[in-house]
Structure formats: structure tokens, C-alpha cells
A and B are shown apart, each in its own frame.
Chain A
Amino acid sequence: MSSYLFVPGNNPGMVQSAHVFDAKGVIFDLEDAVSVQDKDSAKDLLKAYLETAAFDNVYIRVNDIYDLGKNEIEEFNNFDISGYVIPKANTKVMSLVEKYTNKSLIPIIETPEAVLTMKEIGEFDNVTGMLLGGEDLATNIDVVRTLDDIELLYARHKLVMVCAYLGIDSIDTPFTDTDNDESLEESVKYSKMIGMSARSSIHPNQIPIINEIYKPTLEEIEFATKVVEAAKINDSGVFSVDGKMVDLPVIIRAKNILKKAKAYEKN
């Protein structure tokens, strides 16, 4: 699966059903989706919830590390969660966070500074992925979000390159128009096409659309299977399958597709 679902941390109805939507990761949010006066009750709710429920790939988006974030990280360190999603990340923030926890970290790239220092942010030890925060980034460069995200072009493509280089997940920004499934589909197809390893979402109804697009198609699987089979027989380097030339990069891609396809069987 290639989807991350943000879930408001103070909403019991949404917290309790967060894991039924087949998102790859669930990110319980203490930051933007929780009002200032309810930061404490969201924390209590998530703690009480996590004492009773055990799921893989649960993350918590904490608040600003210079504000409530530090304590939140320390309080949730004893819970069985995968890690933290870190807002307003930069190298200074990450060097602090590193001291507070050994859990996996997903910094959010949402400032021009973070875009420019993406590689350095991603190089911190426990970083397993980086998430593009499109809304904040757009605000920070003083532009309006468009449906095709032209304004995020540079940041998106750079995130793919840096994460591929570092071998970590590149997680694309949420698509915030929750009533526009057609444009969501276009946007997620683009994410997949340029190499984003996952898409984040703020609405459960978007998860199946994201998963479906990221799932290898039957045609892809059939072709990949043929390539891998043919590669077993032809060790001469270059050969052709269905009229297409196959060399090592194609074989590696085919193996990756079959690996992904396997991950989609039985979850």
C-alpha cells in the first residue's frame, strides 16, 4: 500500500476506525487538526487508545518542536508506535528531535528552507521517509494551490530524487479538495508517474483511490512476469519481450513491480 492517512487526534469516531481503510500508515494528528484548547485531550485520547490497540505503521504528528512537540515526543516514546511526523522540519529541528527519540521519523518539507536542505534533513539517522506539506509550502512561497500542483513542481521532483538517493520513502502532499475524486485521481497518477513512493491524505475516502492507482496493473504484472522468466533463460544481457528491448534496468524494474504486487496480495 502506498497511502498515509492523517486522522484528527481528538475525534474518537475517527480514531477508532482509522485502521479499517487499508492505509499503509496512519498518522494521528496532534497539530493542525486539533484546536489549541484540546491539545491536552487529544494526547490523552491517543494514549488511552494506544493502550488498547496495537497496529503496525502508526505515527503521531506532533506539534512544533519548540512548543508542545518536545513533550509530546517524550510522552509517546513508551507507546508501541512506529514513529513521529515532524512539522516545520529543518536541520536544527531534526538535530533536536534526534535527541528525544529513537523511533522512526518522517519530517515534513513545508518551508523553502526545507526544500533547499532536503538532503541534509533526510540524512538524519532515523528518517524513514519525507512528506511534502504542500499547503504550508504554498503559503510560504506566497502562491495559491492549483489542482495540478504546478507551483509545487520543483519541490515534488526534488523530494523524489533526494529520497531515492537516500533510500527512504517519498510521501506526496495531501490532496485537500475532498469532493473532487477525478482531480485526485489525476494528481495521484502524477505522483506515481514521477516516482513518489506514497501519497498522504486527509480523508479516508481518498485511500482506496490512492491504493488502486499505486497497485501494479494486471498488464504491468504480466509483462514483468514475462521479463523475469525470460531473464532466467537469457543470461546474455539484452533480449526482447513482446517486441520491447529488455536490459538490466528493465529487469530490475520488473522485479520491483512483482515485489509490489506481492505486497498487495493478502494484507
Chain B
Amino acid sequence: MKIAQAGTIESNDALVIVSPSDKLIVEIDSIVFDKFGDAINQVIVDTLKEHQITCKVVVKDKGAYDYTIKARLITALRRAQNE
């Protein structure tokens, strides 16, 4: 695994950056952190579990819905492993 990213910092989107790590690390920077910080964290943790991957995830969120964050993470993970 290497560093990879997906998404953008446009409105309703999220930029997700993944990098190798032995421990699960999730860093969230969100314009709706107070209200949805927990929800965003949950999506990240669940998606990583589904893919059985442990790594570091940095999220810059501009009000993306859960499915968008999930999609961006999936893309970033695939890019980290493929390319």
C-alpha cells in the first residue's frame, strides 16, 4: 500500500487520503464536524472493516453525504493498492 487520494474539496464532496499505518488512524476535518463528525468516522471505520484494511485515513469534508465519503474511501483504497 502507498499513499493515494480520491475526491475533491468542492461543496458536497470530500477529499479522502489514505496512507500506510499499522494502527487505524482517522483524521476528520469537516464543515459539519459538530453534527456529523461521529457519522463520518463510523462510515470510515465500517468501510475499512468491510475491506479488512488497517491504515491512516485523512478526510477533508465539505458536507458530503455518507455514501459519497464511502465511495471516495473505496476509490482511494483501490488506488493505494493498484497503482
Question: Interface residue count for A (Cβ, 8 Å)?
Answer: 13
Given contacts A12-B64, A12-B65, A40-B79, contact A48 B12 (CB under 8 A): no
Contact, CB under 8 Å: B12 / A41: no
Which residues does chain B contribute within 8 Å of A13, judged by CB atoms?
10-13
Contact, CB under 8 Å: A52 / B11: no
Q: Which residues of B pack against A, CB within 8 Å?
A: 6-7, 10-13, 64-68, 70-72, 74-75, 78-79
> For chain A residues 131-188, which have a beta carbon within 8 Å of chain B?
none
Minimum CB–CB distance from B79 to chain A (whole Å) comes to 7
* A-B pairs with beta carbons under 8 Å apart, 10 shown: A11-B13, A13-B10, A41-B7, A41-B75, A44-B75, A44-B78, A45-B68, A45-B72, A47-B71, A48-B68
Minimum CB–CB distance from A47 to chain B (whole Å) comes to 7
Q: What is the CA–CA distance of A47 and B72 in the complex, to the nearest angstrom?
A: 11
Minimum CB–CB distance from A16 to chain B (whole Å) comes to 6
- Chain A interface, DSSP helix/strand/loop, else mixed: helix
Contact, CB under 8 Å: B72 / A41: yes
Given A11, A12, A40, A52, which contacts B75 in the complex, CB threshold below 8 Å? Answer: A40
Minimum CB–CB distance from A78 to chain B (whole Å) comes to 16
Which residues does chain B contribute within 8 Å of A51, judged by CB atoms?
67
Given B13, B74, B78, which contacts A12 in the complex, CB threshold below 8 Å? Answer: B13
Which residues does chain A contribute within 8 Å of B12, judged by CB atoms?
12-13, 16
Minimum CB–CB distance from A8 to chain B (whole Å) comes to 12
Contact, CB under 8 Å: B79 / A48: no
Q: What is the CA–CA distance of A44 and B74 in the complex, to the nearest angstrom?
A: 7
Contact, CB under 8 Å: B6 / A48: no
Given B13, B67, B74, B79, which contacts A49 in the complex, CB threshold below 8 Å? Answer: B67
Q: What is the CA–CA distance of A45 and B65 in the complex, to the nearest angstrom?
A: 11
**Residue in B closest to A47 when the chains form the complex, CB atoms:** B71
Contact, CB under 8 Å: A40 / B78: yes
Contact, CB under 8 Å: B79 / A12: no
User: Chain A CB within 10 Å — which of B6, B67, B78 has the most?
Assistant: B67
Which residues does chain A contribute within 8 Å of B78, judged by CB atoms?
40, 44
